[in-house]
């Protein structure tokens, strides 16, 4: 399997996990059962009671994929660097476009707060000083594709450069570093245990960056949850993740939840992403992060072809040019 197939798997895996979780995002497990009749086993349209994306058609992606595409374009256009003010403008333009389509409140709380501070004249280096949610981790896949996995500190440097504007905290950077490391290692051909081990190391390094915020140590929580969920059957796994790990937008919950699914169901990407869709809470983002990590391990050819084709068609996704541009950055000396 080529690095390109793995990189395509990461980006399309993100989109697939996002689309599977779209109809259930911000709903409880009980509401998911009530409105969808049981576990999510296919791409579903959002019911009218969906609090964020009511009525979206089956296979539609959300902010997770859309913002990752935005980051990919900025990275390629900037030759591997994202200029902070251009990044802020791109996010605001994206939010305005979503509002024109009748969708609102799609910028996460950390990103929205950082952009408001930036608009009030706060420095880009200080705007993200309270960003502790999963927004940086959900859109970090392009950075992972563009950055080789060798050298943890170099990878974390790339994460910080792309994330500090909105998530310049130990929790935000640690979680984005973990997801990026797992994806990048997978693209380089690491098996899943090695990729997740690399993620733990990157989370530890990322946890030493940014402004300190109180919260469960991301690296320690990933290490703990991997050991805890091994051997769990899917019902027990769902109960453990939803009830103990947590599925909120907090980085130390939803990011750790994605690692729990990757550890327990890493050989079956479709099963992992469908389980993510039924957890309740931030289902689309958990699915997106897990899909990117497992897609990097199994490649595009290892994802369910029919579901992936539907997501491509419904959203007009053509990620191949972006992946090729990001891989060009990855191959650059230094």
**Whole-angstrom distance, CA of residue 193 vs CA of residue 172:** 23
Is 60 exceeded by the pLDDT of residue 105? no
Task: Dig out the tokens for 36 from the structure.
Answer: 């969808």
**Whole-angstrom distance, CA of residue 314 vs CA of residue 64:** 16
C-alpha distances in Å from residue 331, one per residue of 78, 124, 147, 288 = 16, 29, 8, 25
Confidence of residue 53 (pLDDT cuts 50, 70, 90): confident
Is 70 exceeded by the pLDDT of residue 102? no
Task: Dig out the tokens for 249 from the structure.
Answer: 């937008």
**Alpha helices in 101-191, H assignment, sequence order:** 109-119, 124-127, 135-138, 141-146, 152-167, 170-187
Residue 292's contacts (CB-CB under 8 Å, 6 or more residues apart) are 10, 11, 13, 14, 17, 141, 144, 179, 183
pLDDT digits (tens, 9 = 90+) for 292-332: 999 999 999 999 999 999 999 999 999 999 999 999 999 98
CATH of domain 3-330: 1.10.4080.10
Task: Considering only residues 96 and 150, tell me which one the structure prediction assigns the higher pLDDT.
Answer: 150
Residue 266: the pLDDT is: 96
- Average pLDDT (235-246) is 97
% of residues, the chain, pLDDT over 70: 97
The region of weakest confidence among 19-23, 107-111, 214-218 is 107-111
**Whole-angstrom distance, CA of residue 159 vs CA of residue 157:** 5
**Whole-angstrom distance, CA of residue 183 vs CA of residue 317:** 20
**Whole-angstrom distance, CA of residue 47 vs CA of residue 278:** 14
Residue 116: the pLDDT is: 84
Parse the chain into domains and list their residue ranges. 3-330
Confidence of residue 180 (pLDDT cuts 50, 70, 90): very high
Is 70 exceeded by the pLDDT of residue 139? yes
């Amino acid at each position: 399997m080529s690095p390109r197939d793995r990189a395509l798997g990461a980006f399309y895996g993100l989109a697939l996990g996002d689309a599977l979780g779209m109809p259930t995002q911000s709903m409880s497990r009980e509401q998911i059962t009530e409105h969808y009749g049981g576990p999510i086993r296919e791409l579903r349209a959002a019911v009218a009671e969906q609090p964020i994306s009511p009525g979206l058609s089956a296979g539609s992606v959300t902010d997770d994929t859309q913002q990752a595409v935005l980051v990919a374009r900025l990275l390629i256009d900037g030759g591997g660097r994202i200029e902070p003010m251009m990044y802020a403008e791109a996010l605001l333009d994206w939010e305005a476009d979503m509002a024109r389509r009748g969708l609102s409140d799609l910028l996460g709380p950390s990103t929205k707060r950082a952009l408001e501070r930036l608009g009030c004249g706060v420095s880009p280096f200080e705007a993200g000083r309270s960003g502790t949610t999963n927004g940086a981790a959900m859109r970090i896949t392009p950075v992972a594709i563009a950055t080789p996995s060798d050298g943890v500190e170099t990878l974390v440097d790339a994460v910080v450069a792309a994330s500090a504007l909105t998530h310049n905290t130990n929790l935000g950077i640690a979680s984005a570093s973990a997801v990026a490391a797992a994806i990048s290692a997978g693209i380089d051909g690491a098996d899943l245990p090695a990729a997740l081990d690399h993620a733990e190391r990157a989370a530890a390094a990322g946890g030493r960056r940014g402004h300190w915020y109180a919260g469960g140590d991301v690296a320690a929580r990933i290490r703990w949850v991997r050991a805890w969920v091994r051997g769990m059957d899917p019902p027990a796994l769902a109960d453990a993740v939803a009830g103990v790990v947590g599925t909120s937008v907090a980085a130390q919950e939803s990011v750790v939840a994605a690692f729990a699914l990757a550890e327990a169901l890493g050989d079956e990407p479709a099963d992992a992403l469908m389980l993510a869709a039924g957890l309740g809470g931030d289902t689309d983002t958990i699915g997106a992060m897990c899909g990117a990590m497992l897609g990097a391990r199994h490649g595009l050819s290892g994802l369910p072809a029919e579901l992936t084709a539907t997501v491509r068609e419904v959203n007009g996704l053509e990620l191949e040019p972006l992946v090729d541009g990001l891989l060009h950055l990855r191959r650059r000396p230094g």
